[in-house]
Amino acid sequence: MAKILSGKEVAAALKEDLLKRVAALKDNGVTPTLAIVRVGEKDSDIAYEKGAMKKSETLGIAVKNVILPADVEEAKLIAAIEELNDAKDVHGVLLFRPLPEHLNYDRVCNTLIAEKDIDAMTTINSGLVYDGSEDGFPPCTAQAVMEILDYYQIPVKSAKVALVGWGAVVGKPLSVLLLNRFATLTVCHIFTKDVSTPCKDAELIISAAGKANLVGEKHLAKGQIVIDVGINADPNNPGKIVGDVDYAYAEDLVDAITPVPGGVGSVTTSVLAKHVIMAAEKTLR
């Protein structure tokens, strides 16, 4: 039976450190503050917003919500971001993506100053992450994967890693984080002709493809470690959430696996909070 890599356990460990850092900030007259910018009323955005607010409240981080209609004019959204840029009491800004199609993604995201970009939305911050600079804030979900690997002391350097998924929010930045740790990495995407072979050969499989039960018997081997980033509706059980990995098959074969729910998603809001705190700490320096 596979060891369960509990995201909730990782989040609890992070909480201890973050509470101390928030207390130190407040001793210096600084209340770390997150601004959440949401365009429209998508259920997934609202659910993440509620989770981020709850996590922030438990840590003593203040939250400012900026809610705009789905048909908002681009100029109005940019003006709202520029106002947050100028707000000295706001340390980090989270903008939900993807944006409605009538908005220019690059223009809107790059309005935000890099110092407050806590989810790698801007070109500048993405470049810092690519370079491995400590000044950059990686996307929160990608960093959550790294936090889990670190907490459970899973070696990345020299490890043979198969990354399934090449999306801009998780797959691409996660590939950079893994390469910055000197992983031996194979990236699989929709145009990869043979996904099963690199997965079978890997010591560590990370799936961020967003397709239920995509990774199964053809991809998994005994002794592997599996990180499942996917959050998908179960096609066979409406209302249930499943990952990208066939968990029922994997749990009796692999050495360790993250559950869904209770895995990577449980750590993501903790990473978001950590980035807000780090941004606030930089203002003191």
pLDDT, residue 124, reads 95
| Rounded distance between C-alpha atoms, residue 208 and residue 93, angstroms | 24
- pLDDT tens readout for residues 75-94: 999 999 999 999 999 999 99
pLDDT, residue 117, reads 98
pLDDT, residue 278, reads 97
Taking a C-beta distance cutoff of 8 angstroms, is the pair 61, 273 a contact? Answer: yes
Strand partners, 206: 163, 227
| Rounded distance between C-alpha atoms, residue 187 and residue 180, angstroms | 15
What average pLDDT does this structure show over 48-68?
Answer: 97
Query: Which residue in 99, 118, 139 sits closest to 32, CA to CA?
Result: 118
Helix (H, G, I), strand (E, B) or coil at 76: helix
What average pLDDT does this structure show over 152-166?
Answer: 97
Tokens of 205: 């499989």
Q: Is pLDDT of 144 > 90?
A: yes
| Rounded distance between C-alpha atoms, residue 228 and residue 247, angstroms | 9
pLDDT, residue 236, reads 86
The fraction of the chain above a pLDDT of 90, given in percent, is: 94
What average pLDDT does this structure show over 26-44?
Answer: 96
Tokens of 202: 């890997």
Strands in 41-165 per DSSP E: 62-68, 92-95, 160-164
Query: Which residue in 177, 244, 176 sits closest to 207, CA to CA?
Result: 244
Per-residue pLDDT band for 32 (boundaries 50, 70, 90) equals very high
Is the CA virtual torsion 41, 95, 7, 50 positive or negative? Answer: negative
* Run of H or E including 248: helix 247-250
Tokens of 73: 């004019």
Q: Is pLDDT of 62 > 90?
A: yes
Q: Is pLDDT of 134 > 90?
A: no
Strands in the chain per DSSP E: 3-4, 33-39, 62-68, 92-95, 160-164, 184-188, 204-207, 225-228, 232-233, 241-242, 256-257
pLDDT, residue 239, reads 83
Burial group, residue 57, by CB count within 10 angstroms (0-12, 13-18, 19+)? exposed
pLDDT, residue 44, reads 87
Per-residue pLDDT band for 51 (boundaries 50, 70, 90) equals very high
What average pLDDT does this structure show over 262-271?
Answer: 96
Q: Is pLDDT of 238 > 90?
A: no
177: left (phi > 0), else alpha (psi -120 to 50), else beta? Answer: alpha
- pLDDT tens readout for residues 168-205: 889 999 999 999 999 999 999 999 999 999 999 999 99
**Alpha-carbon distance values, 212 to 110, 123, 203 (Å):** 33, 31, 22
* In the block, residue with structure tokens 């900030």: 25
DSSP 107: H
The model's pTM: 0.95
Q: Is pLDDT of 237 > 90?
A: no
pLDDT, residue 235, reads 87
pLDDT, residue 200, reads 97
